[in-house]
A and B are shown apart, each in its own frame.
Chain A
Amino acid sequence: MPVRPTAALSALLTTALSVTALAACGSGSGHGPDTVKVSYKQSTDNSVKVADTYLAGVKEQFEREHPGKKVEFVPIKAPDAEYYTKLQQMLRSPRTAPDLVYEDTFLINSDITSGYLKPLDAYLAKWPDWKRFIGSAKAAAKGRDGKTYGVPDGTDTRGLWFDKRVFSKAGLPPDWRPRNWADVLSAARTIKRKVPGVVPLNVYTGKPAGERATMQGFEMLLYGTGDGSLDPLYDDTTGKWVVGSRGFKDALSFVETVYREKLGPDVSDALDPNFNTTVNGELLPQGKLGIALDGSWLPQTWQPGSGHPWPDWSRHLGLAAMPTQHGQAPGKVSMSGGWTWAIPAKAANPDLAFDFVKTLQTKDNARKWYIANSGIAVREDVAADPAYTGAQPGLRFFTGLVAHTHYRPAYPAYPKVSTAIQEAMEGVTTGDLSVAEAASGYDATVEDVTGGRVVRK
């Protein structure tokens, strides 16, 4: 009897699919007790191999010092937002969970709440180097249960970058040190008056800029209001989000002033999702931006081999700390994020994973890493090391800000609160909303997305 085509086809499909399915089950699941699987974020830019090169070196050292043990990398090649998603999916199942993962402090608390991560306190207590880590960085990887879930491998800080070429044309001092918000605005007004064709001041704003608007823009203002002793976004004692605060409206007013007086970029440029590329690649190198409220990592963009090499940037750009609103103590403000190494709750070899963390975070390796990725040291011994501070202009300045830096309340609701901030900013930037309207819109949204966990201040 001739075989009918459908039968042949179905048989073929069955075989093919079951082979694939079996293969899928086979790989990925359990690996030997001598191999530690490490997931990290690989750059989406193929020419950037900073993390890969660094980790390969550490792997070699680890395998040499731990005979019989192996390190296997499971790199995830994705932009930030997608990296989180992929990682979270891997962490859900013991079959896909690696032994060590690279976690952004932005989402670590969320992943702790989900039960994806393992507390490290038992390991840290026996690790002498942990005492070297600065307090604020340690706090960034702490869960609400008081346990620590990650070892930070550096941080970032933020401040004011200003163009000395623009400043000299405007008659402003090359060693500019603004003492309060009014100083920043008045410098911008001077630039607007005296140097036409230049954007006086850039503050990232609106939803298209995303977390960049919230952190480099709004929070750099908000955390400089009040007396700095309390978190202006989140109330730790009650575990509730702050609404209706004076500081929030003041920070919004600052943004409104920048865009209403046309001290910032054209609104339509500011709301272009790719505007940061223009700032880093064109406006700053070409001397078309007076003051930029931005992060410590900018020189990464200007290194040789990147898209816009600008080796002598430090000749043209000056750095100043972002002042507090009225110059009240401590006088300056900075925000920090950064990444940590964490061990998944479903890891197969957690002990070996922590051994790998110890190798990653020897003083020498830590210093090598900070220098390679323009990171800011979170180990006191490295921060004081001239081999580190002298490695790149600006490192000393941004490391000095660590003492005045704040970490975001990165609890599960934070990403939604951040979106609400961006919407409020966007309202005052376009002029569609008054400060009062935008602030009350924020209050309502936060009340909604946090399920009513808000407190009026």
Chain B
Amino acid sequence: MRRGHPAVRALPLVPALVLLLLFLAGPIAYCVWIAFTDLQLTGQAHSSFTGLANFRRAFQDDAFLNAVWLTLVFTVLSSLIGQNTLGLALAALMKRASKPVRTLTGGVVITAWVLPEVVAGFLLYAFFRREGTLNAVLDWLHLPRQNWLFTLPILAVSFANVWRGTAFSMLVYSAALDEIPAEITEAAEVDGAGGWRRLWHITLPMIRRSIGTNLMLNTLQTLSVFGLIWVMTRGGPGDRSQTLPLFMYEQAFQNSMIGYGTAVALLLLLVGSLFSVVYLRLLRTEV
């Protein structure tokens, strides 16, 4: 086949590229622009360019700093520790379990994942509320009850996110564990390596790449969780479970400060990319 000039060969891609720029990059660029203005949804006749004012405002805003802190707590608790570790544990246990147990566990975990965020939110709200299931169980065990959504809201919503999101990690890790050649594990066993040693020296290094991908996807997803927290606590009481997406929503749509809200969104994007860079560095595969 005759090879055409590179420019000619790229020609068929041009329309797609134009559309991508128009529909994907366009709105993103517009968002970035808005973050540097004082645009409001309502209450203002004209908006103007304000430079870094929105970002300066954010870093002087206690509510913003509180939201950053809570977002970190929420992400570390629910994504890094909860979903990730629990997902790996489930995947490892299920590899050894009998088929019925495997099907049942998998089914339950995946159901939690398939449920719409809002429905899951209501279920867990019912679980944690004062007259909810958890307190009923505690009563039965003669343990002190409390209103979890009031006393430990960030912990309650983190648990909810673990409950809902673990299935994804489990699936990723199940696939990764299946990839490990049985001979290697057997060889290690023959050499006398115990369970923990095998995990540490064989399993984890071999699924390193999956850990990295999973952590990154998990974290990015967790950073943007909104519906779950909104339904359970609305970011309250006070602002004790107000993570960045809820803070953003409050600023942009309740206080109608679109410019400020968008600036916060950009900062959230920054937090997400920081996490990603850290994961990529930590888990870079050695060749």
- Chain A residues with CB under 8 Å of chain B are 1, 4, 6-7, 9-11, 13-14, 17-18, 81-82, 84-85, 88-89, 107, 110-111, 113-116, 206-208, 266-269, 271-274, 411-413, 415-416, 419, 423, 426, 430, 449
Contacts and interface: CB of A to CB of B under 8 A. Distances in A.
13 contacts: A4-B12, A10-B13, A88-B42, A113-B42, A113-B44, A207-B235, A207-B237, A267-B150, A272-B130, A411-B43, A413-B43, A416-B255, A426-B237
A113 B150 contact: no
A85 B251 CA distance: 13
* Closest A-B pairs by Cβ, 8 of them: A412-B43, A268-B150, A14-B15, A268-B147, A7-B12, A110-B43, A10-B16, A273-B234
B42 A412 contact: yes
B270 interface: no
Nearest to B41: A88
Given A6-B13, A116-B42, A207-B236, A272 B129 contact: yes
Contacts of A449: 255
A14 B235 CA distance: 42
Interface of B: 1, 12-13, 15-16, 19, 23, 40-45, 125, 129-130, 147, 149-151, 233-239, 250, 253-256
B162 to A, nearest CB: 22
A208 B43 contact: no
A267 B150 CA distance: 9
B238 A423 contact: yes
A415 B256 contact: yes
A85 B1 CA distance: 57
B146 to A, nearest CB: 8
Contacts of A274: 125
B100 to A, nearest CB: 39
**From DSSP, what is the main secondary structure of chain B's interface residues?**
loop
Nearest to B17: A10
**From DSSP, what is the main secondary structure of chain A's interface residues?**
helix
A17 B23 contact: yes
A416 B129 CA distance: 29
Nearest to A274: B125
B4 to A, nearest CB: 10
A273 B241 CA distance: 13
A11 B233 contact: no
A18 B23 CA distance: 11
A132 to B, nearest CB: 30
A79 B147 CA distance: 28
A112 to B, nearest CB: 9
B234 A207 contact: yes
A217 to B, nearest CB: 15
Contact of B254 (A6, A17, A81, A115): A81
B45 A11 contact: no
A207 B41 contact: no
Contacts of B41: 85, 88-89
Contacts of B15: 10-11, 13-14
A81 B19 contact: no
A316 B130 CA distance: 28
Contact of B19 (A13, A114, A266, A423): A13
Given A88-B256, A266-B147, A415-B255, 5 more contacts: A11-B12, A18-B19, A271-B150, A272-B130, A415-B254
A208 B153 CA distance: 13
Given A81-B253, A85-B253, A271-B150, A10 B12 contact: yes
Contact of A14 (B16, B42, B43): B16
Contacts of B125: 274
Contacts of A9: 16
B227 to A, nearest CB: 13
Contacts of A116: 42
A208 B234 contact: yes
A370 to B, nearest CB: 28
